[in-house]
A and B are shown apart, each in its own frame.
Chain A
Amino acid sequence: MQSSAALEYDYSVAKLYMWTTVIFGIVGMTIGVLIASQLAWPELNYLFGEYGTFSRLRPLHTNVVIYGFTVSGIMATFYYAAQRVLKVSLAELPFFNFLAKLDFVAYLFAAAAMVVSELMGITASKEYAQMEWPLDVAIVVYWVIWGIVMFGMIGARREKALYISMWYYIATFLGVAMLYVFNNMEVPTIFFSGGVGAWYHSVSMYAGTNDALVQWWWGHNAVAFVFTVPIIAMIYYFLPKESGQAVYSYKLSLLSFWGLMFVYLWAGGHHLLWSTVPDWMQTMGSVFSVVLILPSWGSAINMLLTMKGEWNQLTENPLIKFMILASTFYMLSTLEGPIQSVKSVNAIAHFTDWIPGHVHDGVLGWVAFMIFAAIMHMSTRVFKREIYSKSLLEAQFWIQTIGVVLYFTSMWIAGITQGMMWRAVDEYGNLMYSFIDTVSVLHPYYAIRAIGGLLYLIGMFMFAYNFIMTATAGRKLEQEPQFRSPMA
């Protein structure tokens, strides 16, 4: 990658999203720790009356970390990296710059409306698509404006060939647009009821098994296009930039990209194994989930090999640590997912805590670690300051790593214990345990998980402090660092 001293990039939008990443991270993870603790200590359900129960808060947790923390992180890195790989400054494109800022304001309003409506229990109830139709419309508008800005920037680019990260950002835009629109097809009741009932209420276009099929086509691929594709975009940009190493293999990145695009969408069926969805689709879901290991590991290995000959950086630079551990967790979680997608394993794992365990080794270990590294790398460039504290970053890294390990190991044990107890029979073939036995046995694991989550949250606060201090009090840099981010 060439340096681009000639161009003055405009980071105003990237900065705004960097701040919201930090804020939503704290909010979303705090709710996460609260609801994890509620499972271990149920009295915590009564802190905020009707609005504080586990059931009401759980979608708020998932949506704030997905649409708040992660989407903010995606947008921050996009508005930073896209300018640089396309060799075009947003300052040269006032119209698109304005649209991007407008879109940020729309984002804040949509996020606020999402939080309020979910606390009130106004929900379409489909997982990760709880928002009712007026909010869905707002979200689609927000997303389309982002697409317009992206293609506007691409149209004005100086670097003719799109860098790998751009492939993944384009795919993020298209994938989420397609999935979100089709999964949220719903009929507002107010158009038919002659003025009766709430104006924001709607019914799904699809019923029963069909609805399930579309929902998990979405649900699984929201993971693909929010938690995987744009995060790969980040690592392809920030790992080479931070380490000063060229991406190991262009061909491997090509294979991984197109492989991921083709295979991922089929795998949604693995959420519906042993359900009333036709058997052939369930098997397709299993088979493609296993095939998915190839493109997933392709990207991860490409990243690990990018460090070839420079592994010493792993001990010297905490940002490299975050990114390499992120790739490693990506490998773990993309091996674990296919294992859970095998029908016999799924018979035990489904409906148990192994599933949230799997989700969290992915999102805490891979997604959030990558976002932390990206934000710190960017902050030295956009604020033109040194990272405030290296030792704080190191401490955060270890505290959070321990947190993640506690989280997923306890949930593995909890999930398998529960799955085995549900099916255990005595010598006469009768069920051995009542349901509540299988709940009570989980208490220690729920407690360990809550502690793991708390450690991660503490790390999040350390990160927030480090970020704020970097932005406001870090030592001023004379010139932009070429590779390694300077830190005190």
Chain B
Amino acid sequence: MFHWLEKNPFLFAVGVFVVIAFAGLIEILPNFAEASRPVKGLKPYTVLELAGKEVYKKDNCIACHSQLIRPFKAETDRYGRYSLSGEYAYDRPFLWGSKRTGPDLHRVGNYRTPEWHANHMWDPKSVVPASIMPAYKHQFTNIADIATAYAEAVTVKKVFHTPYGDDIQPGKAAYEKYYKEKVLPEALKIAKAMKNKDVLDMVKQGKVPEIVALIAYLERLK
């Protein structure tokens, strides 16, 4: 009954395409406008936090950590209130993860401190003796890529109208000004709270190690 179609590769291919595209049209399109509205009071990530999100991506924390608290009592007891769609409105990409070898991190900023994170990333066993997480010591020496994070802020402001202030502008001069006036003071605050002398010295010299950006990002997850 379908033999004629199998002799006509063009129509066959069109048929396959229509059939496979159907589900996407119905399921994805209608939800698009609605799902990305931010919850009230949600601020876009600061540039330092964005740089931290890049560290989170680079060292691929999503391999073991989720950022999605499901609406079960066991989860809200453990991690805090369940996640809402509007809380992710500025997450490009989303970082929900698909595996919890370690605990969920969507509200980790509520119950850990910069000092705890600093100790944990240097040597996880120092705070959780049975931990199987590797240490991420290189984050204490690698310099965070703030410029790329800044470029991201400029891009999402322009393309997606993410509500950043007027100080986020394209160009190297604008970036350098922003780095000195906004990024460094924010990094200094984190570095002080980490209580790590080497890190603090680096930030005072005007360099931001990856760990500072990462902790700024983790502190933001609330």
Contact = CB atoms under 8 A, between A and B. Distances in A.
Interface of A: 38-39, 42, 45-46, 49-50, 53-56, 58-59, 121-127, 151, 154-155, 160-162, 167, 170-171, 174-175, 178, 182, 187, 189-198, 201, 203-215, 217, 254, 258, 261-262, 264-266, 268-269, 271, 274-278, 281, 284, 288, 347, 350-353, 355-356, 422-425, 430-431, 435-436, 439-440
Nearest to A284: B27
Given A208-B91, A435-B78, A167 B70 contact: no
Interface residues of B, number: 87
Nearest to A60: B60
A196 B85 contact: no
B64 A54 contact: yes
Contacts of B171: 194-196
A439 B103 CA distance: 10
A195 to B, nearest CB: 6
A125 B74 contact: no
A55 B63 contact: yes
A235 to B, nearest CB: 19
A203 B45 CA distance: 14
Contact of A210 (B36, B155, B175): B36
Contacts of A192: 151, 154-155, 158-159, 170
Contacts of A213: 27-28, 31, 35
B84 interface: yes
A59 B97 CA distance: 12
A171 B98 CA distance: 27
A167 B171 CA distance: 51
Nearest to A278: B31
Interface in B79-113: 83-85, 87-103
B21 A431 contact: no
Interface in B60-75: 60-64, 66, 68, 70-72, 74-75
B92 A351 contact: no
Nearest to B173: A194
Q: Counting chain B CB atoms within 10 Å of each CB, which of A189, A207, A268, A355 scores highest?
A: A207
Q: Counting chain B CB atoms within 10 Å of each CB, which of A347, A351, A353 scores highest?
A: A351
A121 B169 CA distance: 27
Contacts of A162: 6-7, 9, 12
A187 B159 CA distance: 8
B96 A275 contact: yes
5 contacts: A50-B136, A54-B63, A209-B85, A217-B24, A274-B72
B131 A208 contact: no
B63 A174 contact: no
Interface string B128-155: 1011111110100010010111111011
Nearest to B33: A210
Contacts of B89: 207-208
A191 B155 CA distance: 8
Nearest to A274: B70
A38 B133 CA distance: 9
Contact of B23 (A46, A155, A194, A266): A266
Contact of A196 (B60, B66, B100, B154): B154
A127 B78 CA distance: 26
B93 A125 contact: yes
A39 B132 contact: yes
Nearest to B103: A435
B84 A276 contact: yes
A236 to B, nearest CB: 13
Given A170-B16, A217-B28, A212 B94 contact: yes
B40 interface: no
**What 8 A-B pairs have minimum CB-CB distances, sorted nearest first?**
A208-B88, A197-B151, A194-B170, A193-B151, A121-B58, A45-B134, A265-B23, A197-B148
Nearest to B77: A431
B198 interface: no
Contact of A42 (B133, B154, B160): B133
B202 interface: no
Contacts, number: 272
A58 B134 contact: no
B6 A174 contact: no
Given A208-B89, A211-B93, A278-B31, 17 more contacts: A58-B60, A123-B60, A155-B9, A161-B3, A161-B6, A192-B155, A193-B154, A206-B93, A207-B88, A208-B36, A212-B88, A213-B31, A254-B2, A275-B96, A422-B75, A431-B74, A436-B128
Contacts of A424: 74
B98 A193 contact: no
B167 interface: no
Contacts of B27: 213, 217, 266, 268-269, 281, 284
B217 to A, nearest CB: 13
A347 B70 CA distance: 9
A40 to B, nearest CB: 8
A160 to B, nearest CB: 5
B1 to A, nearest CB: 8
A354 to B, nearest CB: 10
Contacts of A217: 24, 27-28
Contacts of A197: 145, 147-152
A421 to B, nearest CB: 10
Q: Counting chain A CB atoms within 10 Å of each CB, which of B27, B72, B77, B90 scores highest?
A: B27
Q: Counting chain A CB atoms within 10 Å of each CB, which of B94, B101, B160 scores highest?
A: B94
Contacts of A45: 134-135
Q: Counting chain A CB atoms within 10 Å of each CB, which of B7, B28, B93, B135 scores highest?
A: B93
Nearest to B133: A42
A55 B136 CA distance: 11
Contact of A203 (B36, B63, B78, B152): B152
B180 interface: no
A175 B13 CA distance: 10
A171 B22 CA distance: 14
B201 interface: no
A207 B17 contact: no
Contact of A440 (B64, B97, B130): B130
Contacts of A54: 63-64, 134
A285 to B, nearest CB: 8
A278 B27 CA distance: 10
A422 B91 contact: no
Nearest to A205: B92
B21 to A, nearest CB: 6
